Amino acid sequence: MKLATCFLLLASGCWAQGTSVVHTVHNLSAFGPGEVKVLGEKEVCKFCHVPHSATVSAPLWGRPVPQGQFRVPEVSAGRGKAPAPQPDGASRLCLSCHDGSVAQGFSPAAKTLKAFSVGGLREKGDLSGSHPVSIPLPESSLDPDDERDMGVKAQAVIAADPTVRLDKDGKLQCTTCHDPHADPYYQPGVVPHFWVRPTVDEVCLACHELR
């Protein structure tokens, strides 16, 4: 399918604001709604996807996938802390842009988010102020020594919720909390871009429990 056809499919029909990638800041074409756009460009999908010679076949990824190591946050490990796993899967694709080198205004937290913060803007490759990604779900809400409550729901409880967007290996990825193709809930300073639920609390409480 040609990219022009992809654009026509996306642009056709009656789309509510933010429910199609066409109406989000990921539309970098000349008619995109964001501040960053390519003058004279009419196609939408091509900024991330290509029909041929993709770097990753499944999503037909069109950008170089970063291969280096990232500075990651720490997670619970027994009685102490250990670095979270390195990003993989969909999260590493997101980092093709959102590593602080390209989409700097949106990585790891948009500058416009004042009331809600997931970590300040950091140097390229530094994800230490962000929620860990590419992590498997804990089997228990307790830490590995069964001593400290981590405030996370048990694996079976999270996996049983069909609205929680885990990857095929049951890991939490960027796409668990963010939908790169739709942004209907965005509210500057209140709800982040591409949030999968109407409020911050609803996304967090899909995996976490208040104690």
Per-residue pLDDT tens for 169-188?
Answer: 999 999 999 999 999 999 99
Four-residue CA torsion sign, 179, 185, 187, 191: negative
Question: What number is the average pLDDT over the span 163-167?
Answer: 94
Average pLDDT, integer, range 106-129:
51
Domain spans in the chain, listed from the N-terminal domain onward: 1-47, 68-211
Q: Are 73 and 82 in contact (CB under 8 A)?
A: no
The structure's pTM equals 0.79
Q: Give the contacts of 14 (CB within 8 A, at least 6 positions apart).
A: none
149 vs 133 pLDDT, higher one: 133
The percent of residues above 70 in pLDDT, for the chain, comes to: 74
Evaluate if residue 70 carries a pLDDT over 80. yes
Report, in angstroms and rounded to the nearest whole number, the Rg of the chain calculated over CA atoms. Answer: 18
Residues 6+ apart with CB under 8 A from 70: 86, 87, 95, 99, 125, 126, 127
116 vs 159, higher pLDDT: 159
What is the structure's pLDDT at 162? 93
In this prediction, residue 204 carries a pLDDT of 94
Closest CA to 26 of 11, 39, 36, 40: 36
What burial class does residue 73 get, using C-beta atoms within 10 Å of its C-beta: 0-12 exposed, 13-18 middle, 19+ buried?
middle
pLDDT reported for residue 52: 87
Mean per-residue pLDDT, 5-17: 44
Q: Would the pLDDT of 111 be above 80?
A: no
Model confidence band, residue 110 (pLDDT cutoffs 50, 70, 90): very low
User: Angle CA(185)–CA(47)–CA(111) in degrees, nearest 5?
Assistant: 45
Q: Is 90 exposed, middle or buried (0-12, 13-18, 19+ CB in 10 A)?
A: buried
pLDDT band at 109 (very low <50, low <70, confident <90, very high): very low
